[in-house]
Structure 1
Amino acid sequence: MLEPLVGVGPLRFGMNPDEVASALDGAIAHISQGLGEGTGWGHYTDRGVTAVYGKDNNLVAVAVDAMDGPLVRLGDIDLIARPPSQVRAELQQLAFRENVSVHLNWSGDPEIEAWGISMGAAQEQGRTADGPERYVQRLDTMVTEALLVGPELAKNPFESEPVSQWRDVRDEPPHPGIWPVRAEQERQRWDWTPLKSVGPLRFGMKPQEVAAALGEEPTTRHGRYSFGSPWEGLGQWILTEDRFDHTGVSAHYASGFSRPPLSAPSPFTGGPDRRSSSRASS
């Protein structure tokens, strides 16, 4: 059970790492950073939770995995491993009854300061049919995960330093909280020639050629600075990705010191319908 701003299950905000391990029946943090040294975090693989610690080495946040974390409940609402739309609707109904505000976090999922909840979603995983070659594969559904925090982080959980050291989402494009799927009759029809082209885009195009082929300017651009010589500091800014919201694709560029950016297009939600073919259509 979640006790908002107090704790979840056997964990209480303010615990130190030893107390957390003891509360989790001696669980070991198999993946960690700065654990026991003040600000840091530890992922308890066997329990499906990540504990985040503040500067005083006290527990300030608990992240619950979608696939193998505990099934946390808030009142009569199951928060974990469920369709995001169902959890969102139930949280909004409860918040309305309790006169509590619901906001959207960086991923477009519900965030409720009064309860220290920031929801998320992950691709559901499952195993193939029984047999000697069983392996994990992605399923066709998304299921919920959650970041649960104490009072000091409740206002902006993912913008706080302890949480950002565990999962830094500052470079992630913010999601508006909707899934804008364009109607099929409004989509362009593109042919895909494997390893050569998709629609009007050819692998190897330069950014200017990509924009010209799509007939629109990039909505957003992402890049990085190369490292120059020690006495020069940062080198030239290098473009790595262009997003074209009208067409519904993003172009990813490979570049280096000896060559300009070259592109590899990929569709995102609401983009064109790609059809595989042996050659590009005329």
Structure 2
Amino acid sequence: MWPVLPDTERDQWNYLPGRILGPLRMDMHREDVIAALAAHSFTAKSDGYSPGWDPVRFAKESAPLGQAAVECYFYADGELAYVQVDGRVGPQVTCEGIRLIGRVPSQLAQEMEAHATRHDIGVRYSPTGDFSCDGFQLELGAQRVGDRVVSWALFFVSGDDHSNTRDNAPKTVWHRW
């Protein structure tokens, strides 16, 4: 009922903040994103509405109940704005050696804190209390899996004001089940 893929069954993506997320460049347009993910066996589905956004969901054929592994949101001109990776069936995304997806949130926070301390960078908490390092250009969240939770992530290019980018994200991204 609440399947969570082990890392060995997930696509493995690297993340270079604000630039590259797996097969995606953060400056790609809709058609290029669809083609890039199709090359990795993801099927696109444009069946949702998010006011002001053009969302496209991507799932693997083998995903339980067609669960979207990745959701991309595009600006009106078609440029990629946000990429949300599902905590249960999404690719494993690694940034600076830290696995971000499908993790117990407290363990992920400990790794983030250790990284911030080692590299003398700032830290921050999201409005939902999730911890991350400055410069990662992402928001983390927790997604229910039966009686426990796992981490999901929302990736974006933030420019100088991270909070503005977070606050302008599609409202649907904050409701993960």
Taking a change above 3 Å as real, the CA distance of residues 94 and 21 of structure 1, as seen in their structure-2 partners, is: same
CA distance in 1, matches of 2:158, 2:141: 19
Post-superposition Cα deviations, 1:7-48, rounded to whole Å, max 9, x if no partner, equal: 2100111211111111102621243337xxx84222213360
- The equivalent of 1:31 in structure 2 is 47
- Tell me if structure 1 keeps the 8 A contact 2:46–2:55: no
Residue 29 to residue 112, structure 1, CA distance change in 2 (3 Å): farther
Q: Do the aligned partners of 1:117 and 1:154 also contact (CA within 8 Å) in 2?
A: no
SS in 2 for 1:45: strand
**Do the aligned partners of residues 22 and 95 (structure 1) sit closer, same or farther apart at CA in structure 2, a change above 3 Å counting?**
same
Higher relative contact order (CA 8 A, sep 6+): 2
TM-fit CA distance, 1:77: 1.2
Residue 144, structure 1, aligned to residue 158, structure 2: no
Task: For 1:65 and 1:153, locate their aligned partners in 2 and report how far apart those are by CA, in whole Å.
Answer: 26
- Residues 256-275 of structure 1 mapped to structure 2, 5 A cutoff: none
Please say which structure displays the higher CA radius of gyration: 1
More helix by percentage:
2
Question: 2:72, 2:24 → 1: CA distance?
Answer: 9
- Of 111, 114, 125, 1:90 maps to 111
* Identity over aligned pairs, percent: 25
Q: Following the alignment from structure 2 to structure 1, what is the Cα–Cα distance between the partners of residues 15 and 24? A: 10
Correspondence 1:158-173 to 2 at 5 A: 158-160=166-168, 163-167=169-173
> Counterpart of 1:33 in 2: which secondary structure?
coil
Whether the aligned pair in 2 keeps the contact of 1:30 and 1:45 (CA below 8 Å) is no
TM-aligned CA distance change 1:168 to 1:70, over 3 Å = closer
Stretches (4+) displaced over 6 A: none
Cα displacement (A) at 1:108? 0.6
Q: For 1:158 and 1:17, how far apart are their aligned partners in 2?
A: 21
* Pairing 1:1-282 to 2, within 5 Å after superposition: 1-25=14-38, 27-33=43-49, 39-46=53-60, 48-124=69-145, 138=146, 140-152=147-159, 155-156=162-163, 157-160=165-168, 163-167=169-173
| Aligned match of 1:250 | none
CA contact (8 A) 2:55 2:74 kept: yes
1:59, distance to aligned residue in structure 2 (A): 0.7
2:49 & 2:132 partners in 1: Cα distance? Answer: 26
Instruction: State the match for 2:65 in structure 1.
Output: none
8 Å contact 2:113–2:133 — kept in the other structure? Answer: no
Q: Structure 1 42/53 Cα, relative in aligned 2: closer, same or farther at 3 Å? A: same
State how far apart, in whole Å, the 2-side matches of 1:19 and 1:60 are: 13
- Offset of 1:165 from its aligned partner? 4.7
Q: Where do 5+ consecutive residues of structure 2 fail to align?
A: 1-13, 61-67
Shift of 1:82: 1.1
Residues matched between the structures, number: 151
Give 1:141 deviation, angstroms.
Answer: 1.8
Q: Distance in 2 between matches of 1:69 and 1:33?
A: 21
Structure 2 partner of 1:253: none
How far residue 168 of structure 1 moved from its aligned partner, in angstroms, is 6.2
TM-score (norm 1): 0.49
Q: Structure 2 vs 1, CA of residues 100 and 40 (structure 1 numbering), >3 Å: closer, same or farther?
A: farther
Which residue identity does 2:155 align to in structure 1? L
Q: Is the 8 A contact 1:62 1:147 kept in 2?
A: yes
Q: How far is 1:112 from its partner?
A: 3.6
Amino acid of the structure 1 residue aligned with 2:158: P
